[in-house]
């Protein structure tokens, strides 16, 4: 229960924000909405609002959906006309399929974009009211015969950047090292008031994260200590807070894309790809440390959900956007046969991804 309750809170908020993005712009453009569901399967409870939308919570919490009035796939002009003929003029105005292509595209894209907006908002509030870590990254020890030692890093070097990412706090060093996809990591350090560039080839070792979970780590063999053994946080003004919030979301997004690209090329560690079980475990562990770490994890999960949904895979929002792109180019929707072929491919990819991620989760907890 210590893991389940925080996980359910996190996934409910993230999914609600995603679906509300669709809902908000659908309402704005006059699309009728029959259902707003958090979860799948049998309804636990729900209610109707004044516009006739059924808001409901269902048993399987791993997702949600917004169902539009008259919602069904139509692939040809005749099918579309048959659907239109079923409704009176006032109801036709509520049909999603009759909305301009740009409005349909905005409605579909609004879900993932709402997830990115949620992450930016969370980071913004943390930067404003808790503060941003500005502790200098100073090397206090270099392990003998380590990659850092062989490359020439030394005690008292101040780390300025890693792979062109400016290091603004001590906590960013480990993150930049472990998210790097380069064979050799470029460190820029300040030594005796001179800027020096050093390439370090990290070692990939089995280790544990701060919660005791098994992970693969890229190690270079340095130890960092804050100046005067004090960590420093600085509350930011609104402009700085929004800047660093957007910067953080951009970094997580680009790093995730590089990692996925690395998996596809076979150069990244695919064992770190997790699914709902791992997310639930980490959420529960982080929640024990307080609200701020919990909100931070929520923002990362929100970014991941938004990013994955933008992939051009049928059944995801990105798949619909891909179809709209073809519709714009061709001047008409793709044929039923073509779309069904794409959907089969998309279903296979999604099931394969879910199976692989779940296998990793079960292996981590010792069931394989």
What are the catalytic residues? 19
| Beta-ladder partners of 60 | 40
Cα–Cα separations (whole angstroms), residue 156 to 138, 140, 220: 6, 6, 16
Q: Is 245 exposed, middle or buried (0-12, 13-18, 19+ CB in 10 A)?
A: buried
Alpha carbons 83 and 95: distance in angstroms, whole number: 9
Residue 176 CA, distance from chain mean position: 18
| Widest distance between CA atoms in the chain | 80
Alpha carbons 104 and 180: distance in angstroms, whole number: 37
User: Which positions ≥6 away from 261 have C-beta within 8 Å?
Assistant: 181, 268
Q: Can you say whether the dihedral through the CA atoms of 343, 348, 353, 359 is positive or negative? A: positive
Nearest to 113 by CA among 249, 272, 276, 222: 249
State whether residue 358 is helix, strand or coil.
Answer: helix
| Beta-ladder partners of 223 | 141
Nearest to 56 by CA among 73, 43, 68: 43
Cα–Cα separations (whole angstroms), residue 286 to 6, 7, 67, 222: 9, 10, 34, 26
Contact 221, 148 (CB under 8 A): yes
DSSP H/E element including 64:
strand 54-68
Alpha carbons 348 and 338: distance in angstroms, whole number: 16
Structure tokens at 177: 């090292």
33-47 burial code (b ≥16 CB/10 A, e <16): bbbbbbbeeeeeeee
Q: What is the 3-state secondary structure (H, E, C) of 149-186?
A: HHHCCCCCCEEEEECCEECCCCHHHHHHHHHCCCCCEE
């Amino acid at each position: 229960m210590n893991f389940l309750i925080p996980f359910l809170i996190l996934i409910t908020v993230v999914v609600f924000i995603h679906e509300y993005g669709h809902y908000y712009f659908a309402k704005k453009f006059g699309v009728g909405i029959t259902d707003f569901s958090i979860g799948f399967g049998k309804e636990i409870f729900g209610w109707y609002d004044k516009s006739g939308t059924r808001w409901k919570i269902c048993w399987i919490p791993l997702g949600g959906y917004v169902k539009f009035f008259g919602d069904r796939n139509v692939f040809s002009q005749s099918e579309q006309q048959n659907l239109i003929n079923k409704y009176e003029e006032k109801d036709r105005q509520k049909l999603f399929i009759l909305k301009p292509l740009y409005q349909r595209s905005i409605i579909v894209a609004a879900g993932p974009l709402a997830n990115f907006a949620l992450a930016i908002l969370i980071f913004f509030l943390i930067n404003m009211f808790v503060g941003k870590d500005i502790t200098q990254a100073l090397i206090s020890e270099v392990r003998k015969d380590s990659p850092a030692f062989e490359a020439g890093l030394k005690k008292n070097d101040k780390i300025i950047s890693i792979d062109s990412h400016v290091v603004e706090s001590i906590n960013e060093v480990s993150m930049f090292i472990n998210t790097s996809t380069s064979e050799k990591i470029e460190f820029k350090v300040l030594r005796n008031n001179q800027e020096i560039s050093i390439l370090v080839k990290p070692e990939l070792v089995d280790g544990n994260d701060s919660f005791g979970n098994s992970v693969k780590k890229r190690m270079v063999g340095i130890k960092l200590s804050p100046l005067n053994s004090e960590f420093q946080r600085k509350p930011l003004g609104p402009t700085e807070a929004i800047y660093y919030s957007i910067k953080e979301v951009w970094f997580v997004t680009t790093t995730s894309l590089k990692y996925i690209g690395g998996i596809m090329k076979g150069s990244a560690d695919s064992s770190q790809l997790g699914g709902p079980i791992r997310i639930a475990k980490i959420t529960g562990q982080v929640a024990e440390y307080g609200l701020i770490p919990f909100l931070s994890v929520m923002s990362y999960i929100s970014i991941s959900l938004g990013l994955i949904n933008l992939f051009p895979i049928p059944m995801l929002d990105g798949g619909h956007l891909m179809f709209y792109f073809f519709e714009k180019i061709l001047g008409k929707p793709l044929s039923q046969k073509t779309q069904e072929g794409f959907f089969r491919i998309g279903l296979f990819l999604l099931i394969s991804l879910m199976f692989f991620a779940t296998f990793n989760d079960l292996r981590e907890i010792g069931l394989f």
